[in-house]
Amino acid sequence: MDVNVSDSAIITISPDTLNWTSVSTGGVGGVKYINVKNTGSLNVSQIYAYVDTLSTEPIRPYGLAYAKNYSAGGVITIKNETDPKFYFAGRTEWNWTQDIPNHDWSAVTTPASWGYFRNTTSDYVWVLGNGTVGCNSSDAQFSIETDVDLGTTATRTPGNTFTITNSAGDGERWGYATITTGPLTGHCVAAYYDCSKIYIYNFDKRANFTGCSNAEYLQASNLVSGYSMIISLDAWVPNGYPSGFLNQTILTVYATA
């Protein structure tokens, strides 16, 4: 008797729902785990993941005092089995629009927008420098403070400056900076063309965001049939979020056969 198994590329995610409730501002929800199993007959590799923050937080939510205006994807952090560090799965920080007193934007040539990177209890001031055709052009700049914001000029003088090096995908609307020092070390920062927001990520390898050299796979090597990998997830809620349920997010895990 002969048995021939057909080709199939399938991964199965379990559980299919994760919830964090009553997370304090400036706090974490606690680590939860997702099991990614190769239930097909072909090896899969180049596994990455992203949350849909950009579609579930489409407008600037600051000052609206309504939790649903914030995407849950913006507070989700993620790690793989080989790196001890958690990275933001896809966090958006928006232009502050108001002045930040005591600032010094001299690290960038043409300051266009600024804001705060909020990492649970700590805030860090950042600034975008406009390029010749927008904040996604190859001569745009991103700079971020290394000191926690205390309201002083010394803590509002971003000095770690990174050049926007790529502009690709999504209608050429994003430019990318590879962050090597400071509070976002290891992350990628994508700047939107109109300077209105930045997108912070690591394991998002979609064509729109793969231009950053920090962008990596959760697992690049083969996940053979019948085997699984574990993704660790947590919810890091910064200070200043309104109470209530954030806008629900979807985590998509993608693999190549």
Query: pLDDT tens, position by position, for the chain (257 residues)?
Result: 999 999 999 999 999 999 999 999 999 999 999 999 999 999 999 999 999 999 999 999 999 889 999 999 999 999 999 999 999 999 999 999 999 999 999 999 999 999 999 999 999 999 999 988 889 988 899 999 999 999 999 999 999 999 988 664 445 789 999 999 999 999 999 999 999 999 999 999 998 788 889 999 999 999 999 999 999 999 999 999 999 999 999 999 999 99
pTM here is: 0.95
For the chain, what's the residue count?
Answer: 257
- How open is the CA angle 219-225-226, to the nearest 5 degrees? 100
> Which residues touch 142 (CB under 8 Å, ≥6 apart)?
108, 126, 127, 128, 129, 161, 162, 164, 177, 189, 191, 198
Model pLDDT, residue 4: 94
Q: In whole angstroms, what is the distance from residue 124 CA to residue 181 CA?
A: 13
Separation between Cα atoms, residue 101 and residue 151, nearest integer Å: 8
Which pLDDT value is given to residue 169?
A: 43
pLDDT at 181: 95
